[in-house]
Amino acid sequence: MKPRGRLDLPARMSDAPTRRVLDALTTSGIAVRFVGGCVRNAVLKREIDDIDLAVDKPPETVMRALEEAKIKAIPTGLKHGTVTAIADRGRFELTTLRRDVETDGRRATVAFTDDWLEDAGRRDFTFNALYADADGTLYDPFDGRADLAAGRVRFIGDPDLRIAEDRLRVLRFFRFHAWYGRPPFDGPGFDACRRNAAALGGLSGERVAKELLRTLEASASADAVEGMTEVGALDHWLPEYTNTKCLRALIAREDKPEALRRLAAILPAGADATAIGKRLKLSTQESMRLDVMLAHEPAIDIAGGPRAWRAQIYDLGNGLYVDRLLLAVDAPGDWRAALAMARSWTPPELPVSGGDALKLGLKPGPKVGALLEAVECWWIAGDFSADRAACLAELERLTHAA
Ligand code: ATP
Ligand code: MG
């Protein structure tokens, strides 16, 4: 693979922990290069999440080299050639150069190689096959930088063949378009996605969810989602999909992307969050949050002003209220002020408890709960202004009235 220019390495790729890992490998005669996302983002001068390194020796050799340099090495996936190095809290994924021996559309059987071009050729898109040496020498075997500059997500090789090897690449095409593309979609890639979308059902929910949620996190996610539905890529995994109207409005409102909230934005109110959560292997907590976001009730009352906001923040909790508020894109009222309230106001605790009811002579049982609930309703209706003495008086009044 021939050098094709130079890269100014950002701090994250030239700091002391990174140097330590690179030095440990090269001292042991292992050739190592940055690869994939970190090089792509360094070219774009975008933030770098994690550092992937490609190495030309088998994982056992890599483990030994790290251990000799007293760097913690985790055998993340020896069969696939992946070792994780931990140096001064920095994490590095080291993967041995590979070529595909067999593919079945879901998983590949790989063999290790020392041929950089072979390794590059099994990657998905041209700009994901960028490599850089520790001194910034850049390798770009498929003209990925030109595609990056043009906002073009281009498959390496024949898109249909590449998708047949791994169907997940249909979703990755849209994910990378959302982050790095500009309209229109790359024609040959898009058409191949359309021809192959029907086969996505065979994938695992985890892998699909990861791609889908990362797609949603991008600022251009709405266009990508529309492309996905146009080719039928959501038919199996998200048949509940409605449209991107709410998503677009949500993106304009929120100051920090939240993938799960954006997922809710492309689903209809009342959709079965439990079923969706199971299908996409969401955690129980995520499914529950989705459930609240998709529930018909309570309708978010923004026009009702501060009293209504406080009552609903108390009811839902600050976090879920923010979710519901941001998603209520058609509700009239000053949503910005409601949001500011949800971010700054801590709901108080009801100043009376079951113990107070018992002190009034009530016996433990459902009646106590019902009375407390009545006091709570009265207290909320009074905009939480009643203090403990007033709440106790109300409790007493209701107890005698009952
Ligand atoms: P991100 O910053 O979003 O993590 P990334 O490029 O690091 O972007 P990953 O999904 O972490 O994306 O994959 C790392 C690299 O591995 C990719 O850049 C690509 O070269 C290769 N890769 C990952 N998944 C596939 C796949 N399904 N088919 C082909 N190559 C893949
Ligand atoms: Mg990555």
Q: What is the pLDDT of residues 70-108, one digit of tens each?
A: 999 999 999 999 999 999 888 999 999 999 999 999 989
Which pLDDT score is estimated for 401? 87
With a pLDDT cut of 90, the percent of the chain lying above it is 98
pLDDT at 329 over 80: yes
Between CA 28 and CA 37, with CA 31 as vertex, the angle to 5 degrees is 130
Q: pLDDT tens across 355-394, in order? A: 999 999 999 999 999 999 999 999 999 999 999 999 999 9
Phi-psi label, residue 84: left if phi above 0, alpha if psi -120 to 50, beta otherwise = beta
This prediction's pTM: 0.94
Q: Where are the domains of the chain?
A: 1-150, 158-296, 299-342, 354-401
pLDDT tens digits, 158-197: 999 999 999 999 999 999 999 999 999 999 999 999 999 9
- Write the pLDDT tens digit of every residue in 258-298: 999 999 999 999 999 999 999 999 999 999 999 999 999 99
Residues 6 or more apart whose CB falls under 8 angstroms from that of 139 comprise: 1, 2, 3, 4, 33, 116, 120, 130, 131, 132
User: So what's the pLDDT on residue 138?
Assistant: 98
3-state SS of the chain?
A: CCEEEECCCCHHHCCHHHHHHHHHHHHCCCCEEEECHHHHHHHHCCCCCCEEEEECCCHHHHHHHHHHCCCEEEEEEHHHCEEEEEECCEEEEEEECEEEEEECECCEEEEECCCHHHHHHCCCEHHHCCEECCCCEEECCCCHHHHHHHCCCCECCCHHHHHHHECHHHHHHHHHHHHHCCCCCCHHHHHHHHHHHHHHHHCCHHHHHHHHHHHHHCCCHHHHHHHHHHHCCCCCCCCCCCCCHHHHHHHHHCCCCCHHHHHHHCCCCCCCHHHHHHHCCCCHHHHHHHHHHHCCCCCCCCCCHHHHHHHHHHHHCHHHHHHHHHHCCCCCCCHHHHHHHHHHCCCCCCCCCHHHHHHCCCCCCHHHHHHHHHHHHHHHHCCCCCCHHHHHHHHHHHHHHC
- Banded model confidence at residue 402, pLDDT cuts 50, 70, 90: confident
- Closest protein CA for atom 15 of ligand 1: 36
CA distance 232 to 377: 48
- Any ligand 1 atom below 6 A from CB of 141: no
Q: Which of 123, 131, 162, 167 has the most ligand 1 atoms within 8 A of CB, as the residue to mutate?
A: 123
| 52 Cα–ligand 1 center, Å | 9
How far is ligand 1, taken at its centre, from the CA of residue 37, in Å? 7
Asked if 94 contacts 55 with a C-beta cutoff of 8 angstroms, the reply is yes
Q: Using CA positions, which residue lies closest to atom 5 of ligand 1?
A: 37
**Residue 124 near ligand 1, beta carbon < 6 Å:** yes
Among all bound ligands, the one having the nearest atom to the CA of 168 is 1
Whether 215 is in the pocket of ligand 1, judged by its Cβ within 6 Å, is no
Are the CB atoms for 157 and 193 separated by under 8 Å?
Answer: no
| 372/71 Cα distance (integer angstroms) | 59
| Top mutation candidate among 46, 47, 52 for ligand 1, by most atoms within 8 Å of CB | 52
User: Quick check: 152 and 187 in contact, CB under 8 A?
Assistant: no
Residue 302 Cβ inside 6 Å of ligand 1? The answer reads no
**Closest ligand 1 atom, residue 36 Cα:** 18
pLDDT in tens, 195-230: 999 999 999 999 999 999 999 999 999 999 999 999
- Report yes or no: 375 and 350 within 8 Å, Cβ to Cβ: yes
Kindly state if the Cβ of 49 falls inside 6 Å of ligand 1.
Answer: yes
Among protein residues, the one with the nearest Cα to ligand 1's atom 11 is 37
What backbone phi and psi angles, to 5 degrees, belong to 90?
A: -80, 140
Tokens of 263: 């997922």
CA distance 214 to 208: 10
Residue 230 C-alpha to ligand 1 middle, in angstroms?
24
Q: Which amino acid is at 172?
A: R
- Whole-number average pLDDT of the chain: 97
Q: Which CATH number among 3.30.460.10, 3.30.930.10, 3.20.20.100, 1.10.150.120 corresponds to the domain 1-150?
A: 3.30.460.10
pLDDT digits (tens, 9 = 90+) for 136-146: 999 999 999 99
Whether 123 is in the pocket of ligand 1, judged by its Cβ within 6 Å, is: yes
Residue pointed to by tokens 């281009």: 154
Q: Is 100 in the pocket of ligand 1 (CB under 6 A)?
A: no
CA of 204 to the centre of ligand 2 (A): 19
Ligand nearest to the CA of residue 176, numbered in listed order: 1
CA 128 – ligand 1 centroid, Å: 7
- CATH architecture of residue range(s) 158-296: Orthogonal Bundle (1.10)
